[in-house]
């Protein structure tokens, strides 16, 4: 609570007649800013002025929508690179405690975090006095089914479709965010003093034979560690590269999918899915986006028409008063 008394008032002698009649005037500066007269544009939104916007938006959105929709439908033709996904439903990868249960420091190759993971990883932090690498619930519950795709040949022989393991994770994840523990030793040596997550069959440094896809920078692992936003999600599993321009990547025919079932989803009523898709410039097959664009474009166009009518009807009145807030 401030005092009402201001010693300054005493000094100044209050507003009238400053002592000694100083030559300095207290007239406020006549600047545009102080006088609140900054040059300004005062847009007045009336039916007439916003009308073109609606038409323009309508005219832009509808073609975009159609474009997306058409491309999205064309994706059915499996050409170009084909992405192979696995999908899970009713799996809460966005559960708060689950999301937190990781140690980004450890995954980034921090040697101290490797041996002493963050507390966030509890209760998947240590096992039998050894720190778990990678620690945490996310890593522990890593999807470990194996999917293999075979093309059923003419003579019912199975020709394996080559599935590429690399290139399925974000480049920045693979090259920046996830790092193996530093050193030149073999991976097993570098992970010394750690143990595998409880649910895992083999330790992290044995996820893949490829040195460049092993340990923390194993792309399957990285993909899993990038948690999903929703309980029903799909994750990129493999890449089927197009071999030549002449042939479709996955020519029409019968295919055989071999699933090594490791991952239990039954207990929580989960579902597993396998999805094959190509992507275009606007992502994967996504009819919804296209439809949404077309819808909004149409609505915008329609509103434009309504505004046109209103503008026509009330033109006289709308010119006069603009006093609304």
Partner 1 sequence: MGDPTGRREAQRRRQNKPGPSEKYELRADGPTSMGSLAYREDLEEEKNSEFTWEVQANNQAYNSQFKEKVFLCWQRKKYKKNVIHTAKYNVFSFLPLNLYEQFRRFSNLYFLLIILLQSIPEISTLPSFTLLVPLICLLTIRAIRDLVDDIGRHKSDKIVNNRPCQILTGKSFLWRKWKNIRVGDLVCLHKDSIVPADLVLLASTEPSSLCYVETADIDGIKEGFPEEVCVQPQEIAHAKALRPGMPILEHPGGGWKVVCEEPNSRMHHFVGCLEWKGKKYPLDIGNILLRGCKVRNTDTCYGLVIYAGFDTKIMKNCGKIHLKRTKIDHLMNRLVILIFVSMVVVSMALAFGFWHKVKEFKAHHYYVSAMHPHSVAVEAFFIFWGYLILLSVLVPMAMFVMAEFIYLGNSVYINWDQHMYYEPQDLPAKARSTSLNDLLGQVEYIFSDKTGTLTQNIMTFKKCCINGVVYAESFPRPRGDPRQGLACASPPPPQENPFLWNKFADGKLLFCNTQLLQAVRANQDWRVREFWRVLAICHTVMVQEMNSECPPNPGDQLVYQAASPDEEALVTAARNFGYVFLARTQDSITLMELGEECVYQVLAMMDFNSIRKRMSVLVRKPEGSIYLYTKGADTVIYERLKKKGETEWATEEALASFATETLRTLCLACKEVEEDVYKEWRQRHQEASILLQNRAQALHELYEEMEQSLQLLGATAIEDRLQDGVLETIKCLKQGNIKVWVLTGDKQETAVNVGFACELLSENMIILEEKEIVRILEVYWENNNLQGGKKKELPLQFKMALVINGEFLDQLLLSLRKEPRALVQNVNVDPLESWQEPGEERVDFLQARRLSLMWRTLGIQLRSSGLIPQHKDSKTLRIAEKQRERAFVELASRCQAVICCRVTPKQKALIVTLVKKYQNVVTLAIGDGANDVNMIKTADIGVGVAGQEGMQAVQNSDYVLAQFCFLRRLLLVHGRWSYMRVCKFLRCFLYKTLASMMVQIWFSFYNGFTAQPLYEGWFLALFNLLYSTLLVLYIGLFEQDVSAERSLELPELYIAGQKDELFNYWVVLQAFAHGTATSLVNFFMTLWISQDSAGPVSLSDYQSFAVVVALSSLLSITVEIILITKYWTILFLLAIFLSLCFYVVMTSLTQSLWLFKHFPKNFPFLYADLNVLSQPHIMLVILLNVSLNTLPVLAFRVIYQALKKPQRKEEVEKVISEEITVEPVPCIRRESRARRSSYAFSHREGYADLITQGTILRRSAGVNSDMLVDHTVPPDEPSGSMKESLWYPRKMSFLGRKRHSHHGKVSSEDMQPPSEVSSSLTMDGQAVCPSSPPSQQSLAIWIFTGEVAIFS
| Contacts (CB under 8 A) with partner 1, residues 109-168 | 110, 113, 118, 120, 123-124, 137, 140-141, 167-168
CA dist 3 and 200 (Å) reads 71
**Contact range with partner 1 by CB under 8 A, out of 189-197, 208-216, 241-249, 302-310:** 302-310
| Contacts (CB under 8 A) with partner 1, residues 42-61 | 42-47, 50, 53-54, 57, 61
Residue 26 lies near partner 1 (rule: CB under 8 A): yes
- For residue 88, the cross-strand partners are 233, 272
Angle at 224 between CA 222 and CA 287, to 5 degrees: 110
CB of 218 to partner 1, least distance (A): 15
For residues 152 and 295, which CB has a smaller minimum distance to partner 1 in the complex? 295
Q: Are 254 and 100 in contact (CB under 8 A)?
A: no
CB of 198 to partner 1, least distance (A): 9
Query: Which member of 125, 192, 226, 272 binds partner 1 (CB under 8 A)?
Result: 226
Query: Which member of 163, 285, 298, 308 binds partner 1 (CB under 8 A)?
Result: 285
Q: If you compute the radius of gyration of the chain from its CA atoms, what whole number of angstroms results?
A: 33
Would you state the structure tokens that stand for residue 51, as one six-digit string? 């009308």
| Contacts (CB under 8 A) with partner 1, residues 234-253 | 234-236
- For residue 195, the cross-strand partners are 132
Q: Are 221 and 204 in contact (CB under 8 A)?
A: yes
Tell me the angle at which helices 287-313 and 47-74 cross, rounded to the nearest 10 degrees. 160
Residue 17 lies near partner 1 (rule: CB under 8 A): yes
For residues 41 and 155, which CB has a smaller minimum distance to partner 1 in the complex? 41
Residue 183 lies near partner 1 (rule: CB under 8 A): no
Q: Are 84 and 276 in contact (CB under 8 A)?
A: yes
3-state secondary structure of 256: strand
Query: Which member of 155, 201, 252, 323 binds partner 1 (CB under 8 A)?
Result: 323
Residue 289 lies near partner 1 (rule: CB under 8 A): yes
Closest residue by Cα to residue 51 from 314, 291, 322: 314
**How many positions of this chain bind partner 1 (CB under 8 A)?**
122
Query: Which member of 73, 94, 258, 260 binds partner 1 (CB under 8 A)?
Result: 94
Residue 177 lies near partner 1 (rule: CB under 8 A): yes
Closest residue by Cα to residue 165 from 212, 128, 114: 212
For residues 38 and 252, which CB has a smaller minimum distance to partner 1 in the complex? 38
CA dist 113 and 293 (Å) reads 47
């Amino acid at each position: 609570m401030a005092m009402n008394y201001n010693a300054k008032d005493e000094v100044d002698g209050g507003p009238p007649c400053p002592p000694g009649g100083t030559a300095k005037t207290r007239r406020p500066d006549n600047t545009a800013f102080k006088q609140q007269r900054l040059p300004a544009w005062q847009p007045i939104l009336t039916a007439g002025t916003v009308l073109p916007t609606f038409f323009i938006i309508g005219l832009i959105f509808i073609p975009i929508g159609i474009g997306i929709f058409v491309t999205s439908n064309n994706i059915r033709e499996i050409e170009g690179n084909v992405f192979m996904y696995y999908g899970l439903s009713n799996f809460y990868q966005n559960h708060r405690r689950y999301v937190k249960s990781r140690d980004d420091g450890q995954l980034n190759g921090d040697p101290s975090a490797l041996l002493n993971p963050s507390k966030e990883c509890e209760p998947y932090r240590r096992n039998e006095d050894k720190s778990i690498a990678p620690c945490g619930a996310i890593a522990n519950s890593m999807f470990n089914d194996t999917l293999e795709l075979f093309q059923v040949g003419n003579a019912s022989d199975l020709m394996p479709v080559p599935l590429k393991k690399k290139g399925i994770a974000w480049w920045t994840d693979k090259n920046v965010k996830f790092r193996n523990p530093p050193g030149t030793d073999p991976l097993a040596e570098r992970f010394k003093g750690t143990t595998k997550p409880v649910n895992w069959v083999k330790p992290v440094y044995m996820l893949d034979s490829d040195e460049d896809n092993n340990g923390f920078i194993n792309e399957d692992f990285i993909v899993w560690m990038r948690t999903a936003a929703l309980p029903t999600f799909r994750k990129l599993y493999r890449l089927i590269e197009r071999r030549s321009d002449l042939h479709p990547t996955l020519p029409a025919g019968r295919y055989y999918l071999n699933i090594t079932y490791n991952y239990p989803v039954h207990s929580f009523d989960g579902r597993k899915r396998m999805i094959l898709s190509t992507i275009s410039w606007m992502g994967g097959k996504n009819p919804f986006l296209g439809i949404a664009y077309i819808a909004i474009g149409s609505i915008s166009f329609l509103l434009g028409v309504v505004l046109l009518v209103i503008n026509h009807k009330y033109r006289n009145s709308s010119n006069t008063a603009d006093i609304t807030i």
